[in-house]
Structure formats: C-alpha cells, structure tokens
Amino acid sequence: MRVAFTLNGHRVEVDVESSETLLDTLRLRLGVKSVKRGCERGECGACSVLLDGRPVVSCLLLTVQVEGREIVTVEGLYGDELFEELFEEFSKNFAIQCGYCTPGMLLTSYALVKRASGGPLRVSGDHIVKAIEGNLCRCGTYPRVVRAVSRVLERRLPSGSRL
C-alpha cells in the first residue's frame, strides 16, 4: 500500500505491506535510527515518536495508519530552540547513560514542556514523573531526567518561583 505522511517536516511516500509497523518503516526504510527497537509491545517507550505532536509508540502503529499525519523524531528537532535547551540540560545533569532510552525520553519531555509552555503552566515534578512513565531506563537515570526537565520548566516560570 502506498502511504504518504510528513516526517520531520518533509513529505515522504513509501510503499509498504499493510502489516508493517511504523518502527520498521522508520528504521529499515527511512534510516531514522534514533527510534529504537525495544520490547516491541508498547512497554518500554524506546520507539516513541511524536504523532501530530503527541507521544506514541511506533511499534504498535501500522505505517498505513499514519497516512496524512505528521511524525517527528529527534532528527527533526535539531536546531529547535526548546529541544536544544532540553538536550543541554540532559547533558549537564547526566540524564543520559547508555543512551538507548534517550531519544524517546527526549521526545516525551519535549512534548511535555511544549504543552506546558503553551497554556498556563500547571506542571509539577509529579507531572514529569507521570509523563515519562512510558519511557523505561534500565540505567535508572529517572531522577536526573526529572531534574533536567525541571530546569527547563523552571526557566519558564515567573522569576523566583521553583517547581
């Protein structure tokens, strides 16, 4: 089946079996290697992508289902101000160890900060924990990820207040 969708701002068209997952299309056909193969059953979040701005897992999504939709991976976020800031804080706070969960973790965090910055800021440390529940990190960097994301969010709060 022919499928057309937007990947990181560019229109792509692929010819796939109906049973092909977006994970396979991204990694094997389109060379998007930031999207990691993990559990393949929705539990680990290593294959997360943004679908119309919302985090989803690409292992439980058929490529034919994203016809006309917008997919974003970290490859598409280089140069994005918010993403660069987030990445900087991930590095400064050692929120990356082996790195396998990192692209997914960054995408989920990015979606959270983006959404919090859009409306009135209603985010707390608990929200960060809840947002990244679906991104497993076997190195156990969770507290560092929460710290990194908190720093970015704090900069968006009225001066002097803390998360």
Partner 1 sequence: MYYKLPRIEYYRPKTLEEAVRLLEEVEGSKVIAGGTDLLVDMKTSRAKARALVDVNSIAELRGVEDLGEVVRIGAATKLQELLESPIISENLPLLRAAVESMASWQIRNMATIGGNLCNASPAADTAPPLLAYEAELVIAGRGGLRTVPITKFFTGYRRTALSPTEVLKDIIVRKSEWTGWGYIKLGRRGGFTLSVVAVAALARVRDGVIEDVRIALNSVAPTPVRAYRTEEALRGREVSRDLLEKVARTVVDEISPIDDVRSTAWYRREMSYRLALDALTEALGVK
Ligand X SMILES: Cc1cc2nc3c(=O)[nH]c(=O)nc-3n(C[C@H](O)[C@H](O)[C@H](O)COP(=O)(O)OP(=O)(O)OC[C@H]3O[C@@H](n4cnc5c(N)ncnc54)[C@H](O)[C@@H]3O)c2cc1C
CB 145 within 8 A of CB 90: yes
Residues in contact with ligand X by CB under 6 A are 41-43
Side-by-side strand order, sheet with 70-72: 10-15, 2-7, 70-72, 48-51, 54-57
What are 54's strand-pairing partners?
A: 51
Give me the least distance between CB of 42 and ligand X, in Å please: 3
Question: Smaller CB distance to ligand X: residue 17 or 43?
Answer: 43
CA 5 to mean position of chain CA atoms: 18
67 binds partner 1 (CB under 8 A): yes
Give me the least distance between CB of 65 and ligand X, in Å please: 11
Give me the least distance between CB of 70 and ligand X, in Å please: 21
Q: Which residue has the tokens 């990181």?
A: 8
Residues that bind partner 1 (CB under 8 A): 1, 17-21, 37, 40-42, 45, 48, 51, 54-57, 60-62, 64-65, 67, 108, 129-131, 133-135
